[in-house]
Amino acid sequence: FTIELLTHHGSLMHMDVRFHEHVIVFNNFHDGHWHAEERHSLPFCIGTHFHLKIKNHPGHFKVTVNGLVLAHFHHRGNPHHITAFHIRG
C-alpha cells in the first residue's frame, strides 16, 4: 500500500510499503520527477494490525509504527503546501 502527502505539484512525502521486498520506500515527486529514495526495514507483516503515526516536526516528518520510530523523512518542500492525504492499495 502507499500513503502520500500531496501538494498541487506532486507528493511531498510518498511512503510505499513493499511486502515482496520487505521494505518501506520513502520518496517525493515534484514537477514530474521522482527524487532520491530512502529505504527502511518493514516493521510489520501481512495480516497483523499496526498503528502508524506521521507527525510533522520542524524540518522532518517523524513516522512511527506501534510506537517505535521507523523514519525521520526530511522535508523536501514546504509542509504548509500539503492539500491532501492519500492512501491506496
Q: pLDDT digits over 24-83, tens only? A: 999 999 989 999 999 999 998 899 999 999 999 999 999 999 999 999 999 999 999 999
**pLDDT tens digits for 20-34?**
999 999 999 998 999
Compute the mean pLDDT over every residue in the chain, rounded to the nearest whole number.
96
Contact between 74 and 59 under an 8 Å Cβ cutoff? The reply is yes
Q: Tell me, what DSSP letter sits at residue 77?
A: S
Sequence letter at residue 41: S
Residue reference for cell 502520500: 4
Q: Residue 84 has what pLDDT?
A: 98
